[in-house]
Chains A and B, each alone.
Chain A
Amino acid sequence: MTDEAFTPGLTAGGGGAAALRATEYDNPVAGVFDDVEQVPGAAKPDPILVADGVVKTFGGLTAVDVAHLEIQRGAITALIGPNGAGKTTFFNLLTGFDRPDRGSVSLEGEDISRVAPHRLARRGMVRTFQLTKALSRMTVVDNMKLGATGQRGESIWRSLLGPLWSAQESEVGERAEELLDRFNMSHMADEFAGTLSGGQRKLIEMARALMTDPKLVMLDEPMAGVNPALTQSLLGHVKGLRAEGRSVIFVEHDMDVVRDISDWVVVMAEGQIIAEGTPDSIGKNQAVVDAYLGQHHDQDLSVESPAGGSSDEVGESDG
Chain B
Amino acid sequence: MKLSRVLLAIAVLACMVALLRLGIEGWGPLFAWLWTEGGYDEAGALSVLRSAGWFGVVLALLVPFRPLGLLGLALAAWCGAWCAATIWQREPFAALAPAMQATRLAAPLSLGMLCATPRRPGERRVRAAAVLLVGASAATFAAHGVEAFAMHGEFLDFLFLFARELEVSLAEPTARRMLLGIGALDVAVALGALLALRWPRARIALAWMGAWGLATAALRPLAYGSEFYADFLVRLPNACAPLAALALLRARDLQRAEPPVTHASSP
Partners in one complex: no
